[in-house]
Amino acid sequence: MPDRPDRGRGAKPAPAHTFLRGSIWWARFQVGGREFRGSLSTRDERVARKRAEEWRQREVGAAKFGEHRKTYVDVFAAWSLHIADQVGEQTRRRYAVSLGQLEPWLKPLYFDEIDRELIGTIVRERRAQGVTTATIRRDLTALSSVIEYAIDEGWRPDESNPALSRLKRLKEVRDPIVLPLAEDIDYVVARAPGNFRRLIEAARETGCRQDELVKAQRRLLDAERRQLTIRRKGNEIRTISLSPAAWAVLAAIPAHLTGPWLFWHGNGEPYRNVSARFNELVKAAQKAAQKEEREFHPFTFHHLRHFYAVHYLKNGGNIYTLQQHLNHKSITTTELYLTFLTPEEAAAAKAGPSQYPAQLERFERSPKSET
C-alpha cells in the first residue's frame, strides 16, 4: 500500500516527520543528510508524534556526539565514582535517595535529552504526587550535580544546566512548625529502651539535631563548664551550654569502656537509622494511647528541636542567642518561633541580653513519667 503523507482532500496533514502506511503510523525525517524511515508501531496519532520526535532527537544527538553520546545510566555511573570523594557520607545518601526517586524519568534517556521541558514535567508530576517543594528542591540539587559533572566532561551539547535554572526559580515553602505536647513526649520517652531514651531526652533538652547527638563523643562533654562540643560536616565544630536539665540527662549516660560515643548501645556502637527507630516508637505509643483511650498527637524527632526552641524563648531566652545555639544561618529562621509567643514574650525575646543558660533553670513542664 502506498505511503499517505496526507489523508485525503480536506484532511489535516500528518504530524511532522510522520505518515500513514495503512492504519499504522511511520516516521520519516532527515538528520545530517541521512534519511531515517521506520514503523512507529501505533495507530494513535498522538503517540506517533511523540515517538517520531523522540527518535529524531536521539538521532540528532547521535549526529552531534557520535560514539561519545552518553546515556543517563552511563553518566550516573561515572558521576557516582566522582562524587564519592567530593561530599560527605550523609550528602551522598541524600543524593542517592533523590536520584532514585527521579530514575523513572531519567533512566530511559540519553543524557542530552534532559532539558528544561523534562525538568518542568518532573516538577509538575512530583507535585501531583503530593511531594513537598523542599523535597523537589533536594531532588533537583542532586540532579544538578550530575549535570554539572556531565558538562565538565563534555557530555552535554551546551553548558546549560536546566535543573539548576529551575532550582533558582523554585521557591521553597517551609512546612508549618509542629510543636509536640510535653505529655506526648513523656509518653514516648517512657517507652524508649536504654540510651535511646536518653537520646530523645537530650534532643528535648538541648535542641540539637539528630545527627549532632548521634555523632556526639563523650570526650567532648565538658563537665566543669557543663558544655558540649559538637562536630558537624566538614569538621565544623560549635560548643553549646547545657541547662541543668540537659546536663542531668547527659551526665547520667554510662560510659562505654572502649567506645567513643556519648549515646551508644550493644557493644558500644552508635545508633543508626534513628528516624526509623523513633517513628516505630511513636507508632507503638499511638497504639497504646488508643487502647487507653488517651489523646496522643504523633511527632517526629526533629519536632523536639522546635519544642526546645519555643520553651527557651517562653522562659526569657534571647532570640539571637537561640540562633547561635541552634546554628541557624539566618535570624529569619529563628524568628519563626516567635509565632508561638505572646506579644509580650516576643518583645522580651528580641530585647536585651539573654540570661542563657541561667534562664533555662526556670523551665517548667509537666512532670516526667517515672516509668
Helix ranges restricted to H, 85-161: 89-106, 116-128, 133-152
Neighbours of 271 (CB within 10 A): 20
Cα 246 to Cα 264: distance, rounded to the nearest angstrom: 17
Chain mean position to CA 60: 36
DSSP label of 154: T
State the pTM of this model.
0.59
CA dihedral 23, 25, 29, 34 (to 10 degrees): -80
DSSP label of 222: E
Q: Is the dihedral of CA 284, 286, 288, 291 positive or negative?
A: negative
The domains of the chain, with CATH numbers, are 18-65 (no CATH), 72-169 (1.10.150), 182-362 (1.10.443.10)
Contact 84, 55 (CB under 8 A): no
Q: How would you write the pLDDT of the chain (371 residues) with one tens digit per residue?
A: 444 444 444 445 556 788 888 888 888 888 777 788 888 888 888 888 888 887 787 777 666 655 567 889 889 999 998 998 888 887 888 899 999 999 999 987 888 889 989 999 999 998 888 888 888 999 999 999 999 999 988 888 778 899 988 888 877 666 678 899 999 999 999 999 999 999 999 999 999 999 999 999 999 999 999 999 998 765 678 899 999 999 999 999 999 998 999 999 999 999 988 988 999 999 999 999 999 999 999 999 999 999 999 999 999 999 999 999 999 988 999 999 999 999 999 999 998 554 444 344 434 443 333 32
